[in-house]
Structure 1
């Protein structure tokens, strides 16, 4: 979870807020701002956001949306009050979002072109990110701007994100002729987990893929002059890598390059609730603006400059914040802070007072007008909610003394982040208030200034810049060591898992807001009751009803993870990849209130089946681990046993499990053949989970188990590969429904067309996690199983088809 409780988070946009006397118990600081302006701004904001909740939008072109936006703008500009200007503002927002969606649809890769070899001329944009694939091979993740693409029928995408070979280091602004294999951005849809497609939309990425070796990449001679700034960022990031302490953290703070932060360090900062310190955020922009203002004030002391003090202070803050925001790549939190600061400084230069909440509204509108899909990013809500909560507190508690006001603001924003952390991360840090109170001032004083000083002097004095960065790096190393030591000494967990519905989160935020009001103690106590859903964690798993058992085939891309749970027990069959375990499996488990697994079954050692076991072991209690034939038991802790054919156990009447393969002491012919095959009987309904077994292994199981293989539901062996799902297997299992667990447009062609046809020939109903998202069955005693396909549940138009 990303802690955002911090002291002075709004410093980047507070500006000069005019002091006013309290009126009727609160501060009326609207000043000269017309209420009509606020109302129309809020109406426009609502119009921009509401379409994102729609399951579908009218299939019209971007030009039609543009005409609607012009009409809405004209209506919103009408003088006077009444519903017409407000409806015009809403129409304007609706049409802007609709126009963005239509433009996106025009630029999306045609489905027929997915995984096809495309010949392109593309230019590197932004800062390449060093990553590793599942085989720990070094790669770059690069954003490309496509200038030419063939064949012509595949044209559409403008911006793509690809994995780039490490042997050809990319340089921003360079043009390349190369071959790509692309696919549409596709997000997994699971209950309680984030849809990654939202991130692609927020970043404006129209397709994902990789560089193909089928066409030799060729560098074009001309460079884009517009990429000069990113080339400077890349050279600067390289300079920070030269044997500096905490170089990865320094790169994140200097140029927003987080690729050098190890997973362990990132997780530790999250557990302490200070992960926001590792990214250039509004907090950092505020720090830099403050330093720029100090520089402007120093210049004002020079002879002949005294009368320009206000302008120099404002210009110093704005110029320094602009440069630092550009270093961050104009992310959502930094853009928010910059717009607020620009509004405040413009008012200051004009000799007028700035009303900070209006600046916040203008910042939100600016971000959403440029890209309404920015609202799909957690950073949008966390950033704006943090600053809005400070303004709310300042409005009602603005008379508090300096130190107490700062402490109250810090505590309040930490409390607000608790329910928001439940929404986005499923947990909240218990030590975030203390950690932020210590580390935010330390970062502001001992880390950010030397990092900035190094940036300024590096072009002319690299050795001096290294000294500055070494000083900042030593501080960060000290912080890491202290955090590591504190973590080992803490008698309680640092994080609190939270499972809250959106309604409960809304009640908690409203309750916190009401507690700030000048109420008497009985009313304040009544308001605190709204926080009870936040303070009372679940003791039981979320289920449909008493005795119900849920079988959930998770959408983990190209991989497998199947969750079976009732009110008190849970079994997980495979974990998916490391990404899937972190981004899908753990959020789903937290959302269901599952903090402990009774059994974790790993069918075999392929990364798409067992790659996430380390993340699960670190985050959950696992009572028993059952391993496939090829997995080494020495690599795991806790109670471990091998899958052995014939081994069975029960969760009580009506619920039992049985291992069908491999046999004790058997040495399988291949890793896939050694998959652990599990059969579950739930209130008389049987499920068969067969890992990645092939047709030869299927025949052996048919010969040994015969009719005992019979199951109503089947997880297609090996994701529907042509090497599995033989006729003999289908005849013995006799399933009524089958689930293919696979990734969209995967390079293996799963599920194979011949296999799909084989199931269809036997009138077996097929489901696909790539097409339907997570597929869930709810089995209750004396009732027919109910099926839920989560991609069709509460659908959003931007999920894709």
Structure 2
């Protein structure tokens, strides 16, 4: 077993490496070290075998990663039209701005390029793309890429783990071919028919969306607001068809078959094989109905190993079965180590097993349930804080009530209602869904514990403390184990010194959001696009910001103030300034307009509002952008929203106006209408920051702006290439770029320059 554990460690650690090791080199070293281990004394061979096992796992993971990276879209083919033949997989989802769908590429017709096997597409014309249909289509592609920030959901990591290596926008001129006859296409068409039937009976309602999610895995139909409720109560896993539901359904099938086998014994067929086979087939059918997604495949592999071990009667301990199941999952899909759900699932099972070992007699049912809930709650504390930046305090109670309600009652009834040709079971399931939502909304009012981003050593310390805390009674020092959790729960990032400040330009795509932190205060300049829970709030919480002392909204464009309303509803906000104050009531805010001459100081750092100037055109929203200069003891930062070059020239021409700043945020995301020569000459920056979306449709930043900045000898940092940018304004200006500081072989690295 130690050799197997070493092999799995080699597979797991590969995903965290900054660069991919040579697979052949690892495998060669594994063979060489295995030969050396064979020459050692017999007593030391088992320990010496750990090294070649680790190298073998590392080499295997590197080989699989090499194969996947070879399928990536070539960089020089990004944003170019490519013609291909593909099959629509899964359930396309029509949204406000277009239809999103997954296609499996059969062949690429454009010479000189090969598309990845699975691509994610958006049809902005919202045409009909039936499930299982085949098309000759044309699209503009780019590599799958997401915003890169230190906290919150990592889209790029998820896409890599799921094998989605390219995304694109469909163009007109598609031609439908003969529909696919593949087995999974038939399953997808059946899933689409079930969703249509559910919505035909219940309408496109909240209840229909949740029933579709629980039966056929159509989670995309659940509204974003409802996902927020599930996250606030720790019940997100109940809505996804995950290991919990599949295992519960397999357990129900096993119980039913056990009862049946006692009453109607099948001659010549061992009951254990009947029960295990029926449970596995039930789980497989449910996984297939859910689209046989990657998470359901992992659960099926894990369940298959457990059932096979029980059937073979090999006398394996529960933990040996656990390690074997993990080995099968990692060998089948080494990229699943990047999915938090895998570790939460396996971790919960391990916690439940650990809480019941070394007992002289089995506890009662209620006592066992409480002990299991305690173990699950303790062991998920550190991982939830590490991955999601917060812990819903009501989660243990919500899960204790929600798991049996959803897994044992709602899900089986929803499945039966979807499959039976009757309407009343669907209405009954909808009634249960309304009861579930009532409970979720009530629990969501409870407070949540928000934690700052924790360093890895403190996370590992808390994880060790959690395991120690649920250890059997005979283990000494369990009362002290709780102290090992305190550093993680109490951690706060070190603040800047007096007179210094920290600026973080978040990667919000095609938008702008800059957080400025002094020793005791925080100010946010713009919020980026809507959906604060998606990027903005996880970053603020991870950086230790529990309230904002100031909020400046440069002007009323959605890429600058789109998340302001959600932000204000989630965090206390102090002083609010806006370039267009008349827009504040519509955002649920109140405040003042930005006017030249407004000034204040926090912790030895001065904030000066320089614009918009009185002469700025009132009919030009960009010209009304608030312009803010933040100055520490030695260095300054200049932010100008989308202010055009005409406004820049007005300010540059004002005598006595202090514009010189070490760091300048390029206006209008690097558009050619801003960051003119006069502005650069007046600010004299050493560094220019550009916040823009990767390969955005506006083609920001414009080549003329980049050329002008580079000719001035100024360093350029870009969120679209470098991810989130963090700058420390002290005696000098030091910066870090997320794609450089958190390198991974699967994440494209930017060109972050060295601090001056």
TM exceeding 0.5: yes
Match of 1:182 in 2: 141
What is the alpha-carbon distance in structure 2 between the residues aligned to residue 158 and residue 380 of structure 1? 24
What is the alpha-carbon distance in structure 1 between the residues aligned to residue 260 and residue 578 of structure 2? 69
Q: How does 1:153-552 map to 2 (within 5 A)?
A: 153-165=112-124, 167-213=126-172, 216-226=173-183, 227-244=185-202, 246-301=207-262, 303=264, 305=266, 308=269, 309-331=271-293, 333-397=295-359, 399-402=361-364, 403-457=366-420, 462-463=421-422, 466-485=423-442, 487=444, 493-497=447-451, 499-518=453-472, 523-536=477-490, 538=492, 542-543=494-495, 545=497, 548-552=500-504
Shift of 1:690: 1.1
How many residues of Structure 1 are paired with residues of Structure 2 in the alignment?
739
Preserved CA contact (<8 Å) 1:114 1:183: yes
Match of 1:603 in 2: 554
Preserved CA contact (<8 Å) 1:603 1:676: yes
**Greater Cα shift, 330-339 or 389-398:** 330-339
RMSD: 2.8
**Greater Cα shift, 604-613 or 266-275:** 604-613
Q: How does 1:43-192 map to 2 (within 5 A)?
A: 43-58=6-21, 64=24, 81-83=45-47, 85-130=49-94, 132=95, 136-137=96-97, 139-165=98-124, 167-192=126-151
- Of 655, 661, 670, the match for 2:620: 670
Instruction: List runs of 5+ in structure 2 lacking aligned partners.
Output: 750-756
Preserved CA contact (<8 Å) 2:146 2:156: yes
Deviations 1:683-725 (A, max 9, x none): 2312111111222232233234665222221101111112222
Match of 1:643 in 2: 594
What is the alpha-carbon distance in structure 1 between the residues aligned to residue 464 and residue 311 of structure 2? 37
Deviations 1:76-123 (A, max 9, x none): 999984355433322221122111221222111111111112222222
Preserved CA contact (<8 Å) 1:76 1:86: no
What SS does the aligned partner of 1:724 have?
coil
What is the alpha-carbon distance in structure 2 between the residues aligned to residue 106 and residue 230 of structure 1? 29
What is the alpha-carbon distance in structure 2 between the residues aligned to residue 90 and residue 66 of structure 1? 9
Match of 1:790 in 2: 738
What is the alpha-carbon distance in structure 2 between the residues aligned to residue 418 and residue 595 of structure 1? 20
With over 3 angstroms needed to count, the CA separation of the structure-2 counterparts of 1:723 and 1:341, relative to structure 1, is: same
- In the superposition, the TM-score normalised over structure 2's length comes to 0.91
What SS does the aligned partner of 1:311 have?
helix
What is the alpha-carbon distance in structure 2 between the residues aligned to residue 398 and residue 196 of structure 1? 47
What is the alpha-carbon distance in structure 1 between the residues aligned to residue 682 and residue 498 of structure 2? 33
Deviations 1:142-190 (A, max 9, x none): 1112233354333242221111246322223222122211111223333
Preserved CA contact (<8 Å) 1:69 1:95: no
Preserved CA contact (<8 Å) 2:500 2:632: no
Shift of 1:357: 2.2
With over 3 angstroms needed to count, the CA separation of the structure-2 counterparts of 1:414 and 1:547, relative to structure 1, is: farther
With over 3 angstroms needed to count, the CA separation of the structure-2 counterparts of 1:381 and 1:351, relative to structure 1, is: closer
Shift of 1:563: 0.8
What SS does the aligned partner of 1:190 have?
coil
Match of 1:760 in 2: 710
What is the alpha-carbon distance in structure 1 between the residues aligned to residue 176 and residue 223 of structure 2? 32
Shift of 1:597: 0.6
Deviations 1:217-237 (A, max 9, x none): 211124242311111111112
What is the alpha-carbon distance in structure 2 between the residues aligned to residue 162 and residue 345 of structure 1? 39
Match of 2:752 in 1: none
Instruction: List runs of 5+ in structure 1 lacking aligned partners.
Output: 1-37
Preserved CA contact (<8 Å) 1:336 1:364: no
Taking CA–CA contacts closer than 8 Å with sequence separation of 6 or more, which of the two structures ends up with the larger relative contact order?
1
Shift of 1:756: 0.7
Preserved CA contact (<8 Å) 1:702 1:728: yes
With over 3 angstroms needed to count, the CA separation of the structure-2 counterparts of 1:725 and 1:424, relative to structure 1, is: same
Preserved CA contact (<8 Å) 2:555 2:622: yes
Preserved CA contact (<8 Å) 1:299 1:305: no
Structure 1 residue 586 and structure 2 residue 537: aligned?
yes
What is the alpha-carbon distance in structure 1 between the residues aligned to residue 655 and residue 630 of structure 2? 15
With over 3 angstroms needed to count, the CA separation of the structure-2 counterparts of 1:495 and 1:787, relative to structure 1, is: closer
What is the alpha-carbon distance in structure 2 between the residues aligned to residue 390 and residue 534 of structure 1? 23
